Structure 1
Amino acid sequence: MGIFSRMTDIINSNINSLLDRAEDPEKMIRLIIQEMEDTLVEVRTSSARVLADRKQAARRVEQLRGEADSWDEKARLAIRKDREDLARAALQEKRELEEEISAVDAELAATDEHVAHLNEEIGQLQQKLSDAKAKQKTLAMRNATVDSRIKVKRQVHREALDDAFTRFEHFERRMDNLESQLDVMDLGRDVSPGLAAEIDALQEDERLNDELARLRREVTGEGRTGGGQA
């Protein structure tokens, strides 16, 4: 594809449509801008060559006109000297030069029209490039805004989770405290009430046995000394 046809395609392209179809709009806009900048450099280089060729052609026209004027003077001189043959030859040279001048003038006119068209398209390409760069800035700002919103939402979500975990831990501590209070209330209840009563009864029975033994000794005289007999 030639430079100028590529430039025309870029100028006629719809950047928004290209970005809408792209999977990665940021990458796409970078490629578009790079293509535009490269094309702009190539077009300006080609335009510089065209302008240089035009200047050379313009100098050629001036040279041809000078030569034509010189042959016209020579023809006049030949007429004054009654040399019509020389005058005719001089006029023939002049005519050939004028034909070449006409051809170069036509070339210059076409070149001027081409340069004017190039200037117009370069202006349009520069406008497209400015639009693309503005679009790139907009995309960058949108991405930055989206990233910021995502970070905020993640932070809010994180804080909500942290708050939920804090409340849950607080609830767990309350449950632990309540369970501990219940455990304290149950301390000592592992010993059966009947067992405690039985132990108390054994202690009481032991006291009674001791008391009975004492009374038996007193009644039977057991444990008295032998000095009490006659």
Structure 2
Amino acid sequence: MGMFSRMTDIVQANLNAMLDKAEDPEKVIRLIIQEMEETLVEIRSEAAKYIAQQKLFQRQQEKFQLEADSWMKKAELAMSKGKEDLARSALQEKQKYSEQATAVNDQLAQVEELLTNLQDDTSRLQSKLSEARSKQKALANRKQSATVRLKAKAVEHSNKIENAMARFEQYEQRIDNLEAQVEAYDLTARNDDNDTSLNAQFRELTANDDIDKELAELKQKYAA
């Protein structure tokens, strides 16, 4: 396929219709972008050749026009000196260069028209390329979002989560039991401490009674 034919197809392409018909839209849009980028490279290369031709034709046209003007001045000089034959010869040379300048001017016009068409096509193609890149990015974002959501849904409905939650509840129950045992020990210890305190007070009372009794016996003995 020639460059201009391919470029026309791309510029006129309806990207949405192409994607709707594609089995793999992501692959199609990637190929479209690649095709556009390659075509733009070829267009720039072709445009460079036309620009070089344009500059060459401009130089040639200027040269031929200068020659024609020069021979016109010579013809005028010859006529002013009364040399009609010489003036005729000068006009013939002038006509030759004028014809060459006209021919080159026609070629220059054709090249400039081609360059204008290339610029227009390039502008439209770049617009299509921007559209394709936007669609590629949108497709990639949608695919990434769908993939993540699908993974989340798969995890959400996985038996692993249910099993993990059940095991978590079992661990939680075991911890509750351990904490209950600790609280039971603390309660028992407090009761033991209370019992010990009461017994100590009664023993102290009994001990004081014994001391008072012995002290009274001593007082009675030595008082006698």
TM-score, normalised to structure 2's length?
0.70
Q: Which has the larger radius of gyration?
A: 1
Partner of 1:114: 114
Amino acid at match of 1:136: Q
1:83 aligns with 2:83: yes
Superposed CA RMSD: 1.9
Is 1:125 the equivalent of 2:120?
no
Q: CA deviation at 1:142?
A: 0.6
**Given that residues 54 and 111 in structure 2 are in contact (C-alpha distance below 8 angstroms), is that contact kept between their aligned partners in structure 1?**
yes
Letter in 2 for 1:110: Q
1:176 paired residue number: none
**Which residue number in structure 2 is paired with residue 199 of structure 1?**
none
The equivalent residue for 2:103 is 103
Cα deviations by residue, 1:178-225 (Å, 9 ceiling, x for unpaired): xxxxxxxxxxxxxxxxxxxxxxxxxxxxxxxxxxxxxxxxxxxxxxxx
How does 1:131-150 map onto structure 2 within 5 Å? 131-150=131-150
Deviation of 1:166 (Å): 4.3
Point out where structure 1 has 5 or more consecutive residues left out of the alignment: 171-230
Relative to total residues, which structure has the larger helix share, 1 or 2? 2
Q: Percent identity?
A: 49
TM-score scaled by length of structure 1: 0.69
Residue 55 of structure 1 and its aligned partner are, at CA, apart by: 0.6
Q: Distance in 2 between matches of 1:2 and 1:97?
A: 37
Residue 22 of structure 1 aligns to which amino acid in structure 2?
A
* Count of aligned positions: 168
CA contact (8 A) 2:79 2:87 kept: yes
Is 1:13 the equivalent of 2:32?
no
* Residues in 1 aligned to 2:20 and 2:159: alpha-carbon distance in whole angstroms: 36
For 1:189, the equivalent position in structure 2 comes to none
Residues 35-54 of structure 1 aligned to structure 2 (within 5 Å): 35-54=35-54
Report the equivalent of 2:154: 154
CA shift at 1:80, angstroms? 2.0
1:91 Cα deviation after fit: 0.3
CA distance in 2, matches of 1:33, 1:117: 22
